[in-house]
Structures are given as structure tokens and as C-alpha cells.
Amino acid sequence: MSQRSVPSAASAPPALHHAGPDPGAPPRLQLKGISKVYPTVVANDRVDLAVRPGEIRAILGENGAGKSTLMKIIYGVTHASAGQMLWEGREVQVANPAHARRLGIGMVFQHFSLFETLSVVENVALALPGRPALGELAQRISEVSERYGLPIDPRRHVHALSVGERQRVEIIRCLLQNPRLLIMDEPTSVLTPQAVKKLFETLRQLAAEGCSILYISHKLDEIQALCHTATVLRGGKLSGECIPAEETPQSMARLMIGKELPHCEHSAAQAGGEVRLSLAGLSHASLTPFGTDLKDIHLDVRAGEIVGIAGVSGNGQQELLRVISGEETLAEKFPVHICGVEAGSLRPGARRRLGLTFVPEERLGRGAVPDLSLTDNALLTAARGQQLVTGGFVRFGRARAFAERCIAAFNVKCGGPGAAAKSLSGGNLQKFIVGREILQAPRLFVCAQPTWGVDVGAAAFIRQSIIDLRDRGCAVLVISEELDELFEICDRIAVIAKGRLSPSRPAGETSVEDIGVWMSGLWPGSALMQAATPAYAEPLDV
């Protein structure tokens, strides 16, 4: 997948695979001939699946293969059009998630299912039976979060959390229910390597105690490290089963997409392009309680290069992105320059007119309006740049044509430009949004978690598109928690920790180890280095 061979934090000693489930045990959950038909697509087509006590089974497949749909059927979020589900040998029809939880099924969703206006502890309380005392529950959350290496403050409000932190809440909420079948739909897509490592230890321990786990991920090295068995879906149908430990990532990718993985071409950056984004001593107090204040940030991004910002989620990435995009404006203009213009107090529309396009980390609800069609969602940010509006009236023909271009160019699987954004699978919506922002030919492209939830084939494609964009002379800023990804596409890498930004280093002259240490705030000359106080995240031990 990556050119540089970056050691993955997820790799585990192969010995663990011997501690698999008892192959003779009767399955805890068995699906027989499950189908789900949507008006435009057959999301699941006669799928069989069985998982035994203590088994960790991976569900693999491209974006839109029907993985989430199948899991939602098990959890009672949607209902199968046909087929049978057996729970511990008995046929059940799961009416709703509460019913599933009573059976002992827990699920971590790909798109978060938290109430934004409530605090973490209140959200957890809602998923538990009865009425737990909040004080006690907060205590338990802190314990569990510490034990499993998923730091979270139970009193914080969910709307103020980054996606990485929200994911931790989802996982903790699920673990507190002591499930006997745990469904995890891409739980690690925005977790840091060390959090992934701890999560895997937890999952292995749960499995050893007899819990069954269904695990969806696009990260094949994780699957190899964690899962005993794998079921592969393609186009809604069962396309095969395998033992991940006996496969290579390449062979599994072949099973999933039916062809060889594409390969990223990455030539050296052009030197000496003009500065398109410049942050000059940017400081900004977070508008949300418990948010991270930005402190004295300096950064230049030049035309023709890709700069990456690494860091543990919740260290100021959100605030930084909002200040760059204009969703939060500053009182003064000078700290932010976009394409040579002082832009600190300009609003998002004005910044787009200067040539900025932006992919936010939340796709549903921020990057796209869930209930509106893809045509309407194309209109959301491309109205001006693509001349989709004349005389105040929308030219729906043009908007539709632009949406169709995004769909075709980024190979988005959907029911056409009229499909509602929320009907797309996670990875396909991500491709659509990235496509919409790249096809506007930006002068400055800012992207958070560019390949979050995207399958291996599409991830390679998106990375290549970003590199091609750079080669056409665009300045690119990528914020990601995936170090592999940053090392694969970036020319320079900086680290954000506790609201401060490290100096950047050419990607070729640094390593995952160095960046891991920097992620705790300890870079040469940093304020923390001088004060020598421990930071939010521990250093990465690779």
C-alpha cells in the first residue's frame, strides 16, 4: 500500500492467531441468505455469515459492498428484505437496536450516533438499561477509558469533540454494555496508532473471554494483526472467506476489488512555489468549552507542495481547520494569508473566491447535507466557482452536470446525482466530497482525513488525485492521524500538540519514530520541551 515501508503500530506477534475460537463450537450468530433491497441497489444479496464465541471475524469489501448494511440488519437498525438470522441457535427478528442490546449485541457505528447537545456521560447513560447515576457512570467511563487507552473527559459535550474523540466515546459506550457480540464498523479510521494498539489488546481480551467480534476495516494490516477469519463481500454478494494470517494485503485486496491494487506515483515536489497559505503567529482561543486554544502557530504552504500535519485528535486540529476555512473568523486579518491576501477576518465564501477549497473531517452534516441530493450537495460549495447560479437562480442542469462529473471522475457508487447524500456508503460519500473540492481546481486545497473510511483501491486513487493536484501547481495542506498516509503523500510534515505547531521537516528526513515523539509535544525548542511537563498523549513506542 505504501511505498515507504513504515512499520505499523497495528502489527502483532503472529502467535496470537493460535488463540482462536474453538472450531467445533456452535455459532453465536448465524445469517442465512440475508438480502436487503433498496430502490436503486441490492445492498446485500443472499449473504451467509457465521461467527462463533471467541471469534474475531473481519468483514472485508470495497466501499458500497454492503458491509454496513449487513451490520445494521444484525443490530436492528434496518430490516432484511429476505433471509434468516439465528442468535445462539434460535431464530430472531431484531426489531430495533434496543432489542439487539438486550440480546447482547453492541455496535460501534461508522457514522457516529451520538447526541451532540449532550455530554459524554449522558450519551453513554442513554445506551445503558435503567437509569445509571451520572456521577458513578462518569467514574466508570474514566476507568474504562484509561484502561483501554482511549482518553476522554466524560463531562465534555459531544459537539465540541473531534471525530477521533467521538469514536472513542462510541467504543467506550459499547464496551460498558458487556456485549456478547461486538460489531465494530471501521472503529479505527480516526484513531492514532497507539490507541489502535490498545484497542486491539482489549478486543483480543474480550474474544478470549468468549465475546464474538465482527470487525470492519479497510486497513488490511490491521485485519491481519487482529482477525482470525474474514468474510469478503463484493457488490453485495459473498465473494469468499479467508484466513487473514495466511494471506498478504495484496491477495486480500485482490479478493475485494477483483484486481491488483493501484500504486501511488510520487515525484519530488517543485521547489520555490509562491506561498499560498501563511499562518503568521496565529493564536486563537477556542470557542467551545474544553476545546484547544491555538498558540502562536507559524506555517507556510507553497504552490506545488503537500504539507501534512500529524497529531493526536483533539490537540487543536479542529480549531486550526476552522480558522483556515473561515468557519471561525478572527478579529484581525493579518495572522492568516490566503493566496497573498490577508484573510483572517474573511468569511468562508470570500476565502473560496481566493481559491481555497476544503474537505472537513465530518462528511455527513458538515461536508454534505444528509437529506439533500448529490446535485444539491454539489451546489453547496461549487455554486460560485462552477457558475451554477445566475441572477440568483440555481441552474439545476449545470449543478447536475457538475455532480455527475464528480461521480464519474471519482468513481462514486450511488444511485445517480439525485441520490440523497445519506444513502451513500461512507467511503463513497468521502470520494464525492473530495471530488467536489478537487474538481473546482483550487489554488489552495485543505483536506482533513482525506481517505477516512475509503477502501484501499479508492484510497490510493484519492492520494494520487491529491498528488496530481499538487503537480498542477496547487498548494495542499493535509491533516491526518494516519502517519502512513502522511508519509506516503507529503513533502513536508509538521506536528500539532496541545494547540502548538512544530516546525515542519521534509518527509524524507524524518521518521515515524520522530514524529511519534513530536506528537507528545516534545520537539526541539518547543515550549513543552522547555517546561518539561507531560503532554496529552504518550510518546509512540514503536
Partner 1 sequence: MFELEARAEPSRLMSWLSPLLAVMLMLGGGVLVFWALGKDPVEGFRVFFLNPLKDFYSLSELLLKATPLMLCAIGLAIGFRANVWNIGAEGQFMLGAAAATGVALYFDGSDSSLLLPVMIVAGALGGAAWAAIPALLRTRFNANEILVSLMLVYVAQLFVSWLVFGPWKDPDGFNFPQTRMFGDAALMPALLEGTRLHYGFLLAIAVLIAGHAFMNRSFAGFRMRVAGAAPDAARYAGFSAARMIWVGLLLGGAAAGMAGMAEVAGPMGQLTDKVGSGYGFAAIIVAFVGRLNAFGIFLASLLMALLYIGGEQAQQYLNLPSSISMVFQGMLLFFLLGADVFINYRLRLRRRAPRSH
Ligand X SMILES: Nc1ncnc2c1ncn2[C@@H]1O[C@H](COP(=O)(O)OP(=O)(O)OP(=O)(O)O)[C@@H](O)[C@H]1O
> Which residues lie near partner 1 (CB under 8 A)?
77-79, 87, 90, 92-93, 95-96, 99, 102-104, 325-327, 347-352, 358, 360, 362, 365-372, 376, 379-381, 383, 389, 392-394
CB of 447 to partner 1, least distance (A): 13
Size of the site for Mg ion (CB under 5 A): 4
Rounded-to-integer distance, Cα 376 and Cα 380, Å? 6
CB of 3 to partner 1, least distance (A): 33
Q: Of 8, 30, 35, 110, which one interacts with Mg ion (CB under 5 A)?
A: 110
State which residue, 47 or 282, has the beta carbon closest to ligand X: 47
CB of 160 within 8 A of CB of 152?
Answer: no
Judged by CB under 5 A, does residue 68 bind Mg ion?
yes
Rounded-to-integer distance, Cα 249 and Cα 259, Å? 13
DSSP-derived letter for residue 192 is -
CB of 218 to ligand X, least distance (A): 7
State which residue, 68 or 123, has the beta carbon closest to Mg ion: 68
State which residue, 280 or 341, has the beta carbon closest to partner 1: 341
State which residue, 238 or 424, has the beta carbon closest to ligand X: 424
CB of 376 to partner 1, least distance (A): 7
State which residue, 276 or 363, has the beta carbon closest to Mg ion: 363
Rounded-to-integer distance, Cα 275 and Cα 304, Å? 10
Of Mg ion, ligand X, partner 1, none, which one sits near residue 401, judging by CB under 5 to 8 A according to partner kind? none
State which residue has the least CB distance to Mg ion. 68
CB of 185 to ligand X, least distance (A): 7
Task: Classify 139 as helix, strand or coil.
Answer: helix
Rounded-to-integer distance, Cα 206 and Cα 174, Å? 12
CB of 23 to partner 1, least distance (A): 24
Of ligand X, Mg ion, partner 1, none, which one sits near residue 61, judging by CB under 5 to 8 A according to partner kind? ligand X
Report residue 197: phi and psi, to 5°: -60, -45
State which residue, 97 or 314, has the beta carbon closest to Mg ion: 97
Rounded-to-integer distance, Cα 441 and Cα 469, Å? 8
CB of 214 to ligand X, least distance (A): 12
CA dihedral sign, ordered 185, 190, 192, 193: positive
Pairing of β 90-91 and β 229-234: unpaired
Judged by CB under 5 A, does residue 426 bind Mg ion?
yes
Rounded-to-integer distance, Cα 292 and Cα 309, Å? 16
Rounded-to-integer distance, Cα 492 and Cα 512, Å? 13
State which residue, 58 or 312, has the beta carbon closest to ligand X: 58
State which residue, 9 or 71, has the beta carbon closest to Mg ion: 71
Of partner 1, ligand X, Mg ion, none, which one sits near residue 389, judging by CB under 5 to 8 A according to partner kind? partner 1
DSSP labels for 50-71? EE-TT-EEEEE--TTSSHHHHH
User: What is the binding site for ligand X (CB under 6 A)?
Assistant: 38, 40-41, 43, 61, 63-69, 110, 413-414, 423-428, 453, 455
DSSP-derived letter for residue 103 is H
CB of 298 within 8 A of CB of 501?
Answer: yes
Q: Would you report the helix, strand and coil content of the chain in percent, each value rounded to 5?
A: 35, 20, 45
Sequence-distant (6+) residues with CB within 8 A of 205 are none
Of Mg ion, ligand X, partner 1, none, which one sits near residue 424, judging by CB under 5 to 8 A according to partner kind? ligand X
CB of 316 within 8 A of CB of 496?
Answer: yes
Sequence-distant (6+) residues with CB within 8 A of 61 are 67, 232, 233, 234, 239, 256, 455
State which residue, 151 or 365, has the beta carbon closest to ligand X: 365
In 120-236 the beta strands, taken as DSSP E runs, fall at 181-185, 212-216, 229-234
CB of 29 to partner 1, least distance (A): 13
Of partner 1, Mg ion, ligand X, none, which one sits near residue 325, judging by CB under 5 to 8 A according to partner kind? partner 1
Judged by CB under 5 A, does residue 325 bind Mg ion?
no
Binding site for Mg ion (CB under 5 A): 68, 110, 425-426
